[in-house]
Structure 1
Amino acid sequence: MKPIEILLIEDNPGDVELTKESLRNGKIKNNLKVIMDGEEALNFLFRELDDVDEMLPDIILLDLNLPKVSGREILKALKEDELRCSVPVIVLSSSEAASDIKSSYQLHANCFITKPVMLNDFLNVIKTIESFWVEIVKLPEKGR
């Protein structure tokens, strides 16, 4: 089975390491790319390549509060773009604010998850995301 391509857009080094650890210990083969600021994420996602479909990740894990360009702006740009709008975006934020949850869904996030504070809970959330979005959900095939 081909590895799933996961893009993590997260500026907290601790959360990056926990996510890497959880995905490394998961049962799904994956390639994880990490980008730590919003401007770099937009540049990566909207760079010019011959085959846009092949360069896109299968899933994006997106923090809302990023340096330079916010996660909201990234989400809006992705979901407004015809070639990129089908990539599932999972907002993974420390926020529990109703306004953040509502605005994420208004911008067409595929789901909103509040990052747990406890280490084991955080690891379990990442494993659950991996399990649900890779084993249960049917993702669009690339190249179609």
Structure 2
Amino acid sequence: MNDSPAHSRVDADLLLIEDNPGDIRLIEEAFRDDERSTLHVVSDGDEALAFLQQRDEYEDAPRPDLVLLDWNVPRTSGEALLTELKSDPDLKSIPVTVLTGSQDDADVTRSYRKYANACLKKAVEPDEFMETLRVYREFWLSTARLPVVDDSE
């Protein structure tokens, strides 16, 4: 039996792929006091691919344990990025949460068909969005068990 508290995770690296400075600020604030995680931020899909594939200036970037992906990110779209991520044998086990401000249910359906692990609606009210992020953070970093990378595979 495991004596550790409720599967709590230490030192989780999260990758936020978001281009809206206001949303970035709120998400950084939501994770600021969480000693269990480090939040890395990129602002477009091309930069995200470089980070995930450890190319260019991201050669030493950590493999994220969790990805938060804005569905409408510029350059390589969120949808294309999710497809790329889930088709890469080295990256497909990373849980991806799609962030969307869209009211279109088709976006949510498409993201799940592309194997997103969750979808979060960006609330218009900052306090509501912060509460959503707090619950999200607690679930993924305290309740859920994130995959562990096995270098022998």
State whether structure 2 residue 113 is matched by structure 1 residue 87: no
Residue in 1 aligned with 2:138? 131
* Distance in 2 of aligned mates of 1:136 and 1:89: 16
Residue in 1 aligned with 2:33? 25
Identity of aligned residues (%): 38
* Distance in 1 of aligned mates of 2:54 and 2:12: 20
* Consecutive unaligned residues in structure 2, runs of 5 or more: 1-8, 56-60
TM-score (norm 2): 0.85
Residue in 1 aligned with 2:83? 76
* Length, aligned pairs only: 140
Work out which of the two has the higher radius of gyration on C-alpha atoms and give 1 or 2: 2
User: How many Å apart are 1:126 and its aligned residue?
Assistant: 1.0
> What is the root-mean-square deviation of aligned Cα atoms in Å?
1.9
* Consecutive unaligned residues in structure 1, runs of 5 or more: 49-53
Structure 1 segments, 4+ long, off by >3 Å, are: none
**CA deviation profile, 1:37-80 (whole Å, cap 9, x unmatched):** 111111111235xxxxx831010000011111101111000101
Residue in 1 aligned with 2:69? 62
Which of 107, 116, 126 matches 1:109? 116
SS at match of 1:5: strand
- Letter of the 1:126 counterpart: L
State whether structure 2 residue 17 is matched by structure 1 residue 9: yes
